[in-house]
Chain A
Amino acid sequence: MLSFILRRLVSVAATFIIVSLIIFFMMHSIPGGPFDANDMPVSEAVRAKLMANLGLDQPLYVQYFRYMWGVLHFDFGVPYQSPGETVTQLLSRAWVPSLVLGGLGVLIGAPLGILLGMAAALNRNSWIDYLASTLATLGLTIPVFVTSMLLILVFAVWLNWLPASGWGKPERWILPIAAYALIPLATYARYTRSAMLDTLNRPFVTVLRAKGLTERRIVFQHVLRNSAIPLVTVFLPMFIGTATGSIFVEAMFRVPGLGAYFVSSIETRDYPLEMALMLMITFMYCIAYLLSDIVYALINPRIRVGGGQ
């Protein structure tokens, strides 16, 4: 097990380096630079001075190594669009709403989705099953900005129960989180339903019934455990993937999270911020896959215990 984790850590590090290279050079290959804006033109001399100050006149590989050296020391540089603080400070400020929104969204959506998927699988071809399938399909096909607008229209405009946008107070959280939770809910409902149906159709379930076990024990001990094996591979990556913030939901409900910075950092060629955001996402995906591989190995005896006699 330890060697398995070590091997995976090596591959995580490799992935991280490769992704950082790709992002860095793609980012710089986009035409234009941070001081090209038309609304605040600067003279050629000033711009050259600024570029030199920020090290942008150096060859790309030098810039890359300088930046990555900083990353190794947890120094992600200073954002060009907000020079009064470091990237780290900016992120830790803007990340909180995103984390609350994404985290609560998944924490609410995932269990509901799993329950819905279970109910659908156990009552196949009943109204629960059809409801679950409909919800799952809608959740996966309707873009999140459409559902966001519908939520605003119904609950804020027509019923006037909840504020349409903003953050700050808890009642303002409800609509964005609801909009956000729909994606994990739909995904997990679908995955859980098909994983449980697969398991329920396996011969050993008939054997368990023939042994005289109660249906409750069969479902909760045997079927769930077996269905969880394929589920963990999608569970954690999705969790962390969604917790990094949703550009659309944040924009629709004007949540002051990371989403806006994704867009602005690319638009204004804010290289340090853009790089930091991308590296953060890469890192979280790597860790999520590492963790889910470990959990997968832990709950699957074929991997944990190894081959035949």
Chain B
Amino acid sequence: MPLVEIEDLKVSFSQYGGRVDAVRGVSFTVNEGESLGIVGESGSGKSVSCSALLRLLPATARVSAKAIRLDGIDVLKANKEDLVRLRGRAAAMIFQDPMTAFDPVFTIGHQIVETIQAHRQLSKRDALAEAEQLLLRVEIKNARDVLGYYPHQLSGGMLQRAMIAMALSCRPKVLIADEPTTALDVTIQAQILQLIKKVQAEFGMALIMITHDLGVIAETVDRVLVMYGGEVMEQGPVQQIFDAPQHDYTRTLLASLKTGFDPSADEDMTATPALELRGLSKVYRVGRRAGLFTNHSEFHAVRPVDIVVPRNRIVGLVGESGSGKTTTGMMAMRLTEPTGGQILVNGTDISTMGPAELKSFRRSMQIVFQDSYSALDPMMTLSQIIAEPLHIHGIGTAREQTEKALDWLERVGLPRNFGGRYSHELSGGQRQRVAIARALILGPTVLVADEPTSALDVTVKAQIIGLLKQLQAEMGLSMLFISHDLSTVKSLTDTVVVMYRGRVVEQAATQAIFSEPQHPYTRALLDAIPADNPANRRARSFLSADELEAATPRYTTVQTGLAPNATPQLISIAPDHRVEAIVTT
């Protein structure tokens, strides 16, 4: 008998008087020790199906099925005692955002102990000892300290490890992982995936991996279920899905994973760059309370960086959260005041401009943000939003402004009659199109795109990237594309700048970065990219921050022509390829 058995599951939600079907007749099984991947975009019903398995849906959901069985228990008929046995014991779950998945007012130790004691008769002391063992199993080295920490004292990656430890605490037969790495940095993502695979093997559990990311599927599971619009499109062994997809939707998904490299048209490189950052830096003063007084220390969010965005080129700026890449982008637009350095837009230094002068200059520099939902004013119609820059700069009459806004709606692939709608009526991808139209309506020469696709589904993401690429070519835009997603960067950019802890550690043509990465951090980043086919699964090596520090490349004075220096500095090792390295004799 299979461990999980779902037959003809239907879920609908009551909403504003009507009912919305979220899952329409889904069936699947999971055997002991097997790993199943469920892939689909948001709204495909993948999470809802698994929440139904543990009866975690809100009261507004109506669930029906021929059968939902988990470890021999009929889930739909389960009483209170059955539910306690189902949840945590038969199946345990890990969630997308570890930062919000723990109760903030209790320690990690308390929350693991509480889980153990809910299912097993153990004294508090024994439960604590076991919690410590579990934390060690998920490779948390200072397990004893972590037991006493509150969630806000740990990083996202550490919290997700602790979450896994908590899920393991009652030896579940199946582990359900709902987008467990989506909220994490690339390198952490790869570590967590590896860890999930490891503990699955050690504990002999079955695994259900819910994700929108085919790379995650390729890395972790044996069998795949492709969902779309609440239905199963296709299911089969992972290799078969990747090599011989049957359904059109699966093919679209796979196509978005394949990344072609297509460099921008050649341009005279001696022309003045569209955007040039010279020694741009940001230092924050941090106050630390000590007794009645406050000690101030300095936090270097961005150490002096030099970045050049040539005309008609796309430069990728990559790094993990906290690396300073967004701060750099915001400073380049003078939306965050830099502490030092210069910003040259088309050869003019804008870092010392006054407000009036800067305003007229903003016509040639625009930005698109990650979260399109909060970037659009909910009280304005789309045509008002898109026309607002024209209004601010006093270009044309009101009628001309609206006309131009509607033209731009069409240009970004939305129908003209959307002009009267509000942003909440749109999907994430559509909203991002509106944000792009608003940024480009002034005809800027420089565009900063700050993670414009990371909140979007895979297929939508590919469309937005395509749109950006097309508009860039049409308008001769120069773009600074900030992202943590290396596969996107690979398909879109001409040059890549890698930032790590506020410093630029490597900078080269996109092809060079991906074929001959020099800095250990760049290598770690590349190593963390999920495989694009299950046949390419590989063991990865992960470096700690100290190891990264120690592995800084060394170049001799003969190669560089520079004087030896013990502190790492950016040196040129080839034309247009710079890397942070130590120069030795």
A interface residues with partner B (beta carbon < 8 Å): 3, 6-7, 202-204, 206-214, 217, 222, 225-226, 229, 299-302, 305, 307-309
Which residues in window 84-98 of B have CB below 8 A to A? 84-89, 92-93, 95, 97
Which residue of the partner chain, among B100, B104, B166, B292, contacts A3 with CB atoms under 8 Å? B292
- Chain B residues, CB < 8 A from A210: 54, 56, 87-88, 92-93
CB distance from A223 to the nearest CB of B (A): 9
CB distance from A281 to the nearest CB of B (A): 29
Known: A210-B92, A211-B166. 11 other contacts (CB 8 A): A3-B289, A204-B101, A207-B101, A209-B54, A210-B87, A210-B88, A210-B93, A212-B89, A212-B115, A301-B105, A308-B153
Q: Which residues of the partner chain A approach B163 to less than 8 Å between Cβ atoms?
A: 207
The answer to whether B291 has its CB under 8 Å from any CB of chain A is yes
Q: Which of chain B's residues have a CB closer than 8 A to the CB of A206?
A: 56, 95
Given contacts A3-B289, A214-B80, contact A203 B88 (CB under 8 A): no
Q: B114 contacts the other chain (Cβ, under 8 Å)?
A: yes
In the complex formed, the residue of A with least CB distance to B57 is A206
Contact assessment for B88 and A212 in the assembled complex, using a CB-CB cutoff below 8 Å: yes
The answer to whether B482 has its CB under 8 Å from any CB of chain A is: no
Chain B: minimal CB distance from A212 (Å): 3
Contact A299/B105 with A206-B56, A209-B56, A214-B80 known, Cβ cut-off 8 Å: yes
Inter-chain contacts of B56 with A (CB < 8 A): 206, 209-210
Residue picked from B56, B101, B102, most chain A C-beta under 10 Å = B101
Cβ–Cβ < 8 Å partners of A212 in chain B: 83-89, 115, 118-119, 170
In the assembled complex, 24 residue pairs joining A and B whose CB atoms fall closer than 8 Å, in A order, are: A3-B291, A203-B95, A204-B101, A207-B95, A208-B103, A210-B54, A210-B92, A211-B92, A211-B114, A211-B115, A211-B118, A212-B84, A212-B89, A212-B119, A213-B115, A214-B80, A222-B106, A225-B105, A226-B105, A302-B104, A305-B153, A307-B152, A308-B154, A309-B155
CB distance from A228 to the nearest CB of B (A): 9
Chain A proximity mask over B113-153: 1 for CB below 8 Å, otherwise 0: 01100110000000000000000000000000000001011
Using CB atoms, name the residue of chain B closest to A305.
B150
Interface of A is mostly: helix
User: How far apart are the CA atoms of A305 and B150 in the complex, in Å?
Assistant: 8
**Known A202-B100, A206-B56, A210-B56: A309·B118 in contact at CB below 8 Å:** no
Q: By the criterion of a CB under 8 Å from any partner CB, how many residues of chain B are at the interface?
A: 36
- Asked if A203 meets B118 with Cβ closer than 8 Å, knowing A209-B87, A210-B93, A302-B150, the reply is no
Residue in B54, B89, B101 whose beta carbon sits within 8 Å of that of A203 in the complex: B101
Bound CA span A211–B114, Å? 9
* Chain A hits for B152, CB < 8 A: 301-302, 305, 307-308
Q: CA separation between A204 and B102, bound complex, in Å?
A: 5
- In whole angstroms, what is the CA distance A212 to B80 when docked? 10
Bound form: Cα–Cα A266–B75 in Å: 70
**Complex: chain B residue closest to A302, CB-CB:** B152
How far is it, in angstroms, between the C-alpha of A202 and the C-alpha of B154 when the chains are bound?
19
10 shortest A-B CB distances, which residue pairs?
A212-B88, A212-B87, A301-B150, A210-B93, A203-B100, A211-B88, A211-B115, A207-B101, A212-B84, A3-B291
Closest chain A CB from B478 CB (angstroms): 37
Contacts A211-B115, A212-B83, A305-B153 hold; do A7 and B103 have CB atoms under 8 A apart?
A: no
Q: How far is the CB of B476 from chain A (nearest CB, A)?
A: 44
By the criterion CB–CB under 8 Å, are A226 and B87 in contact?
A: no
Q: In the complex the two chains form, what is the Cα distance from A206 to B86 in whole Å?
A: 14
- In the complex, A6→B291 CA distance in Å? 9
CA distance A229 to B105 in the complex (A): 10
